[in-house]
Amino acid sequence: VKKFKSLMIPYFTFSVISIVLFSFMIKLMPSLSEQSGFFNQLFVVLYGNSRPDIMKWNTPLWFLPCLFAVLVVVYVIERSMQNNVGGAAVRLLVIIVSFVAGVLFETNVDVRLPMQMESGIFMIGFVEIGVILSKCDFSEQVKKISAFKIMLISIGLLVIGSLVSHINGFAEVRTYYYGKNGFLFIITSVTMSMAFLLIAMLFENSKIWKVIGVNSMVVLLLHKFPIVFFQSICPGVKSLLSKPTTMSGTFMAILVAILVIALCNMAGYFIKKVCPESLGKKRKKMEKKLC
């Protein structure tokens, strides 16, 4: 129930808002895209699958129903293991089955499941890795290591992940494509995730990162629109962003990312004050009294 409130309520709310906003944007900028009728779009929202590209009003929202479905599956698995011995072995088995099934599905089964569970099958393994790290008090163990060693380990993981990613080629979970080899995708994902997790732990007391972290949901929900604005209104931005391997393209991507995060955080502050329910949050008691 808690996850439904925090994931699915924002998903439904901002899907409808995005459909309305995107309809207006198409009238102002016809070059964006055409979209199907309103009720067809609502069906897509309820079904929760964005493939091949039918959530153009706000494609990143596909992640929320998929994440919710994956967490429900993991919840059932974890509840079934309560009071049972061999939890670590069961989790390891679940990870292996998830990864093997995910790779086999991607190469042999072209299906669009509710809540995009064709991709979610693969993601169950990653969540279970997170559960194992949590059970092992990973964050407490990392605190015992010096910052210098953590940075060296992080750099090493980033190098390995980047090299394997280069070998594997383009991959994207949303489009149900894991590159040349799904197992190489797993190596890249695990190494890069661990690297960024370690780096984040080095800056866990940073107020700036805490603010961005707290508002990460708002960034996910809204970043589509400022990016479309920068690409459509600002001359040259779209062409530079289409060349991410160049120095100018990288600089523009970083600049746009910073501006988008800042704008989304400003919007998030306003939303939390005016209508926190849209984010699946309760109003503070003091605010209720004032109202």
Q: Tell me, letter by letter, the H, E, C secondary structure of the chain.
A: CHHHHHHHHHHHHHHHHHHHHHHHHHHHCCCCCCCCCHHHHHHHHHHCCCCCCCCCCCHHHHHHHHHHHHHHHHHHHHHHCCCCCCHHHHHHHHHHHHHHHHHHHHHHCCCCCHHHHHHHHHHHHHHHHHHHHHHCCHHHHHHCCCHHHHHHHHHHHHHHHHHHHHHHCCCECCCCECCCCHHHHHHHHHHHHHHHHHHHHHCCCCHHHHHHHHCHHHHHHHCHHHHHHHHHHCCCHHHHHCCCCCHHHHHHHHHHHHHHHHHHHHHHHHHHHHCHHHHCCCCCHHHHHHC
pLDDT at 30: 59
Tens-place pLDDT, residues 8-55: 999 999 999 998 888 777 766 655 555 667 788 889 999 999 998 888
Q: Look up residue 85 and give its two tokens.
A: 């011995």
Q: How far apart are CA 245 and CA 107, in angstroms?
A: 29
Q: Which of 3-7, 85-89, 119-123, 148-152 has the lowest mean pLDDT?
A: 85-89
pLDDT at 84: 66
Helix axes 117-135, 87-108, angle to 10 degrees: 160
In the predicted model, what is the mean pLDDT of residues 196-220?
Answer: 87
Q: Which residue has the higher pLDDT, 238 or 158?
A: 158
pLDDT at 291: 42
| Residue 82 pLDDT > 80 | no
pLDDT at 29: 62
Q: Among residues of the chain, what percentage have pLDDT more than 90?
A: 50
Q: What is the mean pLDDT of the chain?
A: 87
Q: How many residues does the chain have?
A: 291
Tens-place pLDDT, residues 100-157: 999 999 989 888 999 999 999 999 999 999 999 988 888 888 888 899 999 999 999 9
* CB-facing half-sphere around the CA of 127: CA atoms within 13 A: 20
**Model pTM score:** 0.86
Tally Cβ neighbours within 10 Å of residue 46. 12
> Which amino acid would we find at residue 43?
F
